[in-house]
Structure 1
Amino acid sequence: MSRPTTAFRPGSSRIAAAALVGAAAFVVLTGCSSIEYQEDICGSGEYPVLSVGGTGSACVSDGEQPPAGFVRYPEGKVPQQVDDKWDVYWRTHTLDKDGNVIDAPDAG
Structure 2
Amino acid sequence: MTTQQTRRPRPHPRTTGGAFARRTLPGLAAASLTAAFLLTGCAFQIHDRVCSSGHYPVKAVGNTTGGDCVADGQEPFEGYVRYPAGQVPEYVDDKWDRYWSTVVVDAEGRVVQG
TM-score band, normalised by the shorter chain? 0.7 to 0.9
8 Å Cα contact 1:27/1:33 also seen in 2: no
Letter in 1 for 2:27: A
The structure number with the bigger radius of gyration is: 2
Aligned residue number for residue 95 of structure 1: 105
Q: CA deviation at 1:83?
A: 1.0
Structure 1 runs not aligned, ≥5 long: none
Q: CA deviation at 1:37?
A: 2.0
Structure 2 runs not aligned, ≥5 long: 1-10
Matched, 1:65 2:68: no
Letter in 2 for 1:42: C
Picking from 67, 80, 90, the partner of 2:90 is 80
Q: CA deviation at 1:16?
A: 3.2
**Root-mean-square deviation (CA), in Å?**
2.8
Q: CA deviation at 1:31?
A: 3.9
The aligned length equals 101
Q: Deviations over 1:10-45 (max 9, x none)?
A: 764223322211111122344468754211111111
Identity of aligned residues (%): 37
